[in-house]
Structure 1
Amino acid sequence: MAKYASSSRWLLQSLIFTILWTVRAQLPGTWELLVPNAGVASMHTAVTRFNTVVLLDRTNIGPSRKMLPKGHCRIDSNDVVLKKDCFAHSVVLDLQTNQIRPLMILTDTWCSSGQFLPDGTLVQTGGDLDGFKKIRKFEPCEPGEFCDWVELKDVELANGRWYATNQILPDGTVIIVGGRGTNTVEYYPPRKNKNGAIELKFLADVEDNQMDNLYPYVHLLPNGHLFIFANNKAVMYDHEGNRVIRDYPALSGGPRNYPSAGSSVMLALEGDFSTAVIVICGGAQYGAFIERSTDTPAHGSCGRIVATDPKPGWEMEDMPYGRIMGDMVMLPTGDTLIINGAQAGTQGFEMASNPCLYPVLYRPDQPVGLRFMTLNPGTVPRMYHSTANLLPDGRVLIAGSNPHYFYKFGAEFPTELRLETFSPEYLSPDRANVRPVIEGIPETVRYGEAFDVFVSVSLPVVGIIEVNFGNAPFATHSFSQGQRLVKINVTPSVPDSGRYRIKCTAPPNGAVAPLGYYMVFAVNQGVPSVARWVHLVA
């Protein structure tokens, strides 16, 4: 009888495994291990115009798993772990070869912020301890060339910034918003007559015992103002006049910002570019951070608001899973991928459990109740300090996860050094015949300029081929700072010497698309091309 019972249990387990594997195999999307060991757990991640990726961690994390070049060490008598630190805490990934090169970073970048400047330079601001007021730059280069972090010595932040958010503005300057105990904004480069920090009372008004005003969600609206969300409230902020010009209704469901761990995107701008829709999803239950509760269920509610409406209100819906620390990635199609995170707990070291392995696709054009699609699950938990970034080939790079104060590999949720990619369904083999290839596109375009894009497609084109501008944001702590997708106006494609020609009009101004480098995708029947980098200038 015992033998029969054991056999029955084995058969039942095999059946359950087969069913689960079959269901998993039928879900859209595929995973790939890209790099087995990146050397660092990426807390901050950004894709450069040279198809490289900058990965950045804290400097006072102790030994990483990537050494600096021989003879290069960071000396810091205040470092509690390594006074002489010869380990890399930032690296650059070459997407062509998947090779990793160590970078030198000198001051602490823990929970800092960043944004690309119009010339493609990554500016990185703040952090903890000796990095509190620091400004750093990384000017990217071709993979075979040498470029590294430069710490500015002649200028520093007016206020220290820890857990701040950066956003590029229409004039190409970067606004730096908030931070722990810092309820102000400032600019880089400093604006004339605005060389210091400027109080933003809204951030102080929404501060609470959980500090849920940290890493505020900041979106540049097409009217040139900023949508700033912190805790459960939002304002429209006139950064030129330093005034709040609109208070939005509170979002139900509790706080969403750090450490309550929701995420946010602004949906694709299109048409006449006058309408901006903001979506905010997920978060921890209030009190989970204060109580250090790792098993309090996350909620799965999403709020959606037309921020440019005269009388805006939140439209609520629920994701398939409660989720904290999820990353929302704008795909070239205009859909949003929600990936990474956990289903219980809160942000913070060792303060979450039950990893959410299932990505979700948010389809904004569908009606309420039909917008979410569950995708093929991963196998690697991506908890606190993980990131997700769109790559030029349409895949999404998944990096990081270090829910511990130092690197720790023997834990239930260990420090994660593997890099993975997730390929949405649009990259499946059965769609290869409709995937366009950009054969010709200008390297530089000006606001409002008419230009042609030439594409080739294996099958005859049916319908409109979109041309969409997606920038490269700075991803950290479940929010991609500066993330943006603009669907520019195009005419129907016409055959032209074995290719198709699409007449396009560049974005009209810096409020719709700030100056800088963009990944430009041609999208045919929901399938994007490999992007070409285009410099958008005034």
Structure 2
Amino acid sequence: MIPTTAVLSLLLLATSPSTLVQAQKAGTFEVVGNSGVSAQQLFLGALNKVYVVDKTENNPMRVTGAGGEHAAWASEYSLVTNQARALDVVTNSFCAGGTVLGDGTWINVGGNQGVTWGGLTAPSQTGGAPYDDLDGGRSVRFLTPCNDNDNCEWEDDAERYMSSRRWYPTLETLEDGSAIIIGGCSWGGYVNDAAQNNPTYEYYPTRGAPVTLGLLQTSLPANLYSLTWLLPSGVLFIQTNWATAILDYKNNQQYDLPDVPLAVRTYPASAATAMLPLTPANNWQPTMLFCGGTNLQEDQWVTTWNIAAFPADSSCVKITPDQANPEWEQDDSLDQGRTMGQFIILPDGRLWMGNGAALGTAGYGNETWAVGRSYADRPLHESWYFDPLAASGSRWKSAGTSAVDRLYHSVATLLPDGSVLVSGSNPNPDYVDRTIDPTITYITEYRVEKFYPSYYDSPRPEPVGMPASIGYGGAYFNVSLPSTAFASSSQIGTTKFVVSRTGFSTHAMNMGMRHLQLDSTYTAAEDGSATFHVSQIPPNAAIFPPGPALLFCVVNGVPSQAAWIMVGSGAIETQPVSAAASLPANFVAVSPTAESTTASPQETGGSSNSNSPGAAGSSGTTQSGAGRRLGGGAGGVASVLVLGASLASLVL
């Protein structure tokens, strides 16, 4: 007798799209376009549009503003045409922060004084030649992206400015869709100092005067762009310089945690950082991962010695702060030290890491030891995958190699097709190439690359029923896939649905980047197709703050093209929250001739992920009508799924 699972796998393979796809892009980088302005800051604003923001400088791309034509320092990049359109940003957005609000508006916050050639302070801070740029230190800039037209522009409204200057601020979207704005400095420099430190936080929309944060008073000098995440408990985790704390922003209370070990991770040490995927298996419990940076001590953050020759750190550490007595743990180290490496969370739950250098830190200057103007040297072109579910000691695997240097002011973001867009690199005070300065080591970089992950060439699932919005708790939704989506029966049980916010990318981090797997079960039909019953986000807006996001269906590690969705109500407000509806139990249809198969009397709902809460130990089946209900374990599918009477008779 031929085993049921073997016959099923052969049948599904015969009816699946060919796995022998030509034109192998997976594992490669491809230069696809030109960003128009140097990509110091970048975000995915719509399915087909990426938005780029630079500092004020002499980019060749021009734009016409209120004062006439001048160099542009922002652009809209089309993923369809790979062409850039100039956008006018009125104030100097140099080293601003950003995030998306609960209503879908992106804000870009803070910056520097108006400048003239070479980044020098302009004699006028209210406009004028050569760039017609205004002081951006208190600015809040607004953009509502447009996917199908060219009608969206940045809005700079002085009536909505911050109350204080912030250069290098951090932003995080909160559970009501507003944003908290943390820290920064007034005038800049290599690192922060007491004379210009802004150790406070405020909000957009405003909630009044800024609030002092003690953590930022005691963590000088490397405490700019503090690494910050909203936790499901509704408090903020903040890591800056060596210090780490929980901020209960609702009650203005700080709770110190152990210092980060081995290296500084914040700018300008600039480690690769990310919140690891939130899944049913880990009960949506966040763990933060930090890889690379530098172990410079407080008295070494000066430019009187050769920083660009100092080796970057190779350690990786992690912490799970939303638990009792959190402690730092070491994880698998990098292959070598790296500063300015950047993590992007892929739809399959792995992290991609690229960009950066082996020596030095972020920053630039005129010191004799600088490499050209760069405070970093020896660019690292190889990218890597980090798999948080792999066994310790084997979590890193090589991903692909770029030919482009990506140093200070480089960026990256996930795209709706599952590829990674990479751009930027400009360790210089103004635009420079080798026609301007033949001796320059690292030029202003405009090339846009795509990196194609290992799944990219595989046939993509084409789910039907993906929603346009999801909320917090409430009814589940149904998504269907044909039998051709699965190469074997086990792939039904491991299919997952993930919500991804790609974040605001700048300075080797993506503010607001978050990946959440939704709970789900399935009903498998006789013909091999399946309907998935997918819960909305757990009933807690702090798990995944409201605003736009991508929704992927992932089959056997291969993502669909993403659906663009709105998470939450689409407004800045207390989000509606409902109890989560119970999911149906996993159900597998079988032919009448196969119904005599012995089944356990157990009937259990829960996630199709066998590691999820409620699924453990639930791999039994229950016969019901023309099918069987299974527990959450995917192994049950391989045991009993039979497609049609003809296949049943073949097996029997």
Normalising to structure 1: TM-score of the pair?
A: 0.87
SS of equivalent to 1:203: helix
Aligned to 2:213: 200
Cα RMSD of the aligned pairs, angstroms, is: 1.9
Structure 2 counterpart of 1:123, which letter?
Answer: I
Structure 2 counterpart of 1:140, which letter?
Answer: P
Residues 13-52 of structure 1 mapped to structure 2, 5 A cutoff = 29-35=27-33, 37-52=34-49
- Shift of residue 496, structure 1, vs aligned partner: 9.2
- Shift of residue 497, structure 1, vs aligned partner: 8.6
User: C-alpha separation between the residues in 2 aligned to 1:108 and 1:415?
Assistant: 18
Structure 2 counterpart of 1:303, which letter?
Answer: V
Question: Computing the radius of gyration over CA atoms, which structure comes out larger, 1 or 2?
Answer: 2
Aligned to 1:320: 335
SS of equivalent to 1:437: coil
Aligned to 1:464: 494
Residues 302-317 of structure 1 mapped to structure 2, 5 A cutoff = 302-317=316-331
User: C-alpha separation between the residues in 2 aligned to 1:496 and 1:530?
Assistant: 26
Aligned to 1:21: none
Compared CA separation, residues 445 and 274, structure 1 to 2 (3 A): closer
Determine if contact 1:273/1:512 at 8 Å carries over to the other structure: no
Determine if contact 2:175/2:546 at 8 Å carries over to the other structure: yes
SS of equivalent to 2:441: coil
* Structure 2: gaps spanning 5 or more residues: 1-23, 114-134, 186-196, 365-373, 435-439, 569-575, 577-652
User: C-alpha separation between the residues in 2 aligned to 1:466 and 1:443?
Assistant: 18
State whether structure 2 residue 415 is matched by structure 1 residue 391.
yes
Determine if contact 1:282/1:301 at 8 Å carries over to the other structure: yes
Determine if contact 1:289/1:347 at 8 Å carries over to the other structure: no
State whether structure 2 residue 344 is matched by structure 1 residue 329.
yes
SS of equivalent to 2:263: coil
SS of equivalent to 2:566: strand
- Shift of residue 238, structure 1, vs aligned partner: 0.7
- The aligned length equals 488
SS of equivalent to 1:294: helix
Compared CA separation, residues 43 and 388, structure 1 to 2 (3 A): same
Deviations 1:147-189 (A, max 9, x none): 1000012121022111111000011110011112111110001
Determine if contact 1:121/1:137 at 8 Å carries over to the other structure: yes
- Shift of residue 289, structure 1, vs aligned partner: 5.5
SS of equivalent to 1:359: strand
Candidates 220, 242, 253, aligned match of 1:243: 253
User: C-alpha separation between the residues in 2 aligned to 1:454 and 1:328?
Assistant: 32
Determine if contact 2:215/2:243 at 8 Å carries over to the other structure: no
Structure 2 counterpart of 1:53, which letter?
Answer: V
- Shift of residue 518, structure 1, vs aligned partner: 1.2
Aligned to 1:455: 481
Deviations 1:383-436 (A, max 9, x none): 000001000110000010001111111222211000001111111x3x32xx31
Aligned to 2:469: 444
- Shift of residue 532, structure 1, vs aligned partner: 0.2
Deviations 1:58-92 (A, max 9, x none): 12x1x212122xxx2464xxxxxxxx752211010
Candidates 165, 188, 201, aligned match of 1:185: 201
User: C-alpha separation between the residues in 1 aligned to 2:160 and 2:69?
Assistant: 25
Determine if contact 1:226/1:238 at 8 Å carries over to the other structure: yes
Determine if contact 1:464/1:493 at 8 Å carries over to the other structure: no
SS of equivalent to 2:147: coil
Determine if contact 1:465/1:493 at 8 Å carries over to the other structure: no
User: C-alpha separation between the residues in 1 aligned to 2:138 and 2:529?
Assistant: 52
User: C-alpha separation between the residues in 2 aligned to 1:251 and 1:156?
Assistant: 34
- Shift of residue 274, structure 1, vs aligned partner: 4.8
Structure 1 counterpart of 2:409, which letter?
Answer: H
Candidates 473, 479, 487, aligned match of 2:517: 487
SS of equivalent to 1:513: coil
Candidates 159, 163, 182, aligned match of 2:164: 159
State whether structure 2 residue 533 is matched by structure 1 residue 509.
no
SS of equivalent to 2:446: coil
SS of equivalent to 2:478: strand
Deviations 1:267-288 (A, max 9, x none): 1112274521110111124136
- Shift of residue 469, structure 1, vs aligned partner: 0.4
State whether structure 2 residue 311 is matched by structure 1 residue 297.
yes
Aligned to 2:122: none
Deviations 1:297-354 (A, max 9, x none): 1111111111122122211131112100111111112211111000001110111100
Aligned to 2:130: none
Structure 1 counterpart of 2:32, which letter?
Answer: L
Determine if contact 1:50/1:143 at 8 Å carries over to the other structure: no
Structure 2 counterpart of 1:66, which letter?
Answer: M
Structure 2 counterpart of 1:158, which letter?
Answer: S
Residues 26-425 of structure 1 mapped to structure 2, 5 A cutoff = 29-35=27-33, 37-59=34-56, 61=57, 63-68=58-63, 72-73=64-65, 75=67, 86-129=70-113, 130-180=135-185, 181-191=197-207, 195-207=208-220, 211-244=221-254, 246-271=255-280, 273-286=283-296, 287=300, 290=303, 291-317=305-331, 318-349=333-364, 350-410=374-434, 411-425=440-454
User: C-alpha separation between the residues in 1 aligned to 2:535 and 2:37?
Assistant: 41
SS of equivalent to 1:485: strand
Compared CA separation, residues 398 and 168, structure 1 to 2 (3 A): same
